[in-house]
Every structure is written in C-alpha cells, then in structure tokens.
Amino acid sequence: MSGKSGSCIECGGTLCAKLVQKVFTRKGRLIAVISDIPADVCEQCGAKSFKIAVVKKLETQLSGMNRSARKVEVPFAEYAA
C-alpha cells in the first residue's frame, strides 16, 4: 500500500493515506467516536476524503449503534463485516 493516492480536490495538495478519528452526532447527541478510519488526508489543507466502501461500512456500523450507546468509542476495524 503506497501512502500517496492522488491530489486534493480543494487545493490540489498531496493526499496521504491515514487513519483518522471521526465523531458522529445526531440532534446534538453523541452517537459514536470511531477511530482508525482509513481516509485520504490532504497534507496542505487537511481535507479528509473517504472511499465509498468506507462510508458505507461506517453507515452500517452507525445504524447498529443508534439504540445501544453502551460503547461510543470504537475502532473501525472491529466492526468490519
């Protein structure tokens, strides 16, 4: 896996594959903090872009977490289908 995967749509900067953390809220309530999400992060402006497969997996993961918020901080990979 190479670190570079294109250029930023915002500023044209170099994108770097990183694992990021993202906080999800709904109506002001914290739903989940998911860490270790693979994303392309711009080295210049910090813009994050996620692959469609990753977004879909996040949506699946979140939909299963709406009711039981016993554990809000979860790593992305743990829920991988």
Contact footprint for Zn ion (CB under 5 A): 8, 10-11, 13, 42, 44-45, 47
- Least Å distance, CB 14 to Zn ion, is 8
- Considering beta carbons, is residue 10 or 73 the nearer one to Zn ion? 10
- Least Å distance, CB 17 to Zn ion, is 14
Per the listing, tokens 């829920």 go with 79
Largest CA distance in the chain: 41
- Nearby residues of 49 by Cβ (< 8 Å), 6 or more positions away: 9, 15, 39, 40
- Considering beta carbons, is residue 11 or 19 the nearer one to Zn ion? 11
